[in-house]
A and B are shown apart, each in its own frame.
Chain A
Amino acid sequence: ILNVEQSPQSLHVQEGDSTNFTCSFPSSNFYALHWYRWETAKSPEALFVMTLNGDEKKKGRISATLNTKEGYSYLYIKGSQPEDSATYLCAFIVLTGGGNKLTFGTGTQLKVEL
């Protein structure tokens, strides 16, 4: 059974703070790691798809890194804003000979306060 773990479970920060979350996944048979942002009453929205060890991706104030050898990814938000409040999900795909099965973590719920 593949397990994806995310920490912390929830986080309250002040506007302007920088923050980061962790996603841990099994390192064997790694194929790809996805990060999604899920705002209340909306659909999950993709932030990054990462496939190579050492990958670093950036979108505005949000960035992510990937370590496939030790099985973790970090998501960083610089200068958090209230609109960053959402649940951040990571999802993992193993190399199983085809198919698009995302195994999701339970997410980190971020609340940014003024």
Chain B
Amino acid sequence: KAGVTQTPRYLIKTRGQQVTLSCSPISGHRSVSWYQQTPGQGLQFLFEYFSETQRNKGNFPGRFSGRQFSNSRSEMNVSTLELGDSALYLCASSLGQKAEAFFGQGTRLTVV
């Protein structure tokens, strides 16, 4: 069974640009969540999608947005990139709230 796939693995962008990250969940998982990890911080919740609807949102500015497609694949977009957006972005899929989350390898974003 294929795991959670995130693309790209690494990305370098310039301040002010925008970026789109992609996540393909495990087949059958309809919940996809996104997390940000910066040095010294734990995993910070960005948002969760379930059946193409955003179900939960973390405390991030509106520059961070996402969507989910009918095949459960999800994308995350960050507009007007700032240096502080440099981080590891992890996507996780699961069957539900009481089920374990399966994480992708992450996308390492560097903003210069």
Contacts and interface: CB of A to CB of B under 8 A. Distances in A.
Interface of A: 4, 31-32, 34, 36, 42-46, 49, 51, 89, 91, 93, 96, 98-107
A44 B90 CA distance: 9
B43 interface: yes
A99 B42 contact: no
Contacts of A93: 97
B42 A46 contact: no
B56 interface: yes
B58 interface: yes
A44 to B, nearest CB: 5
Contact of A32 (B41, B48, B98): B98
Contact of A101 (B33, B42, B98): B33
Nearest to A96: B56
Nearest to B44: A104
B58 A101 contact: yes
Contacts of A103: 45
A69 B41 CA distance: 27
Contacts of B92: 44, 102
Contacts of B106: 43
B42 A105 contact: yes
A43 B90 contact: yes
Interface in B64-112: 90, 92, 94, 96-106
A81 B104 CA distance: 26
B104 A100 contact: no
B43 A43 contact: no
B15 to A, nearest CB: 27
11 contacts: A43-B3, A43-B105, A44-B43, A44-B92, A44-B103, A89-B42, A98-B97, A100-B31, A100-B33, A100-B97, A101-B33
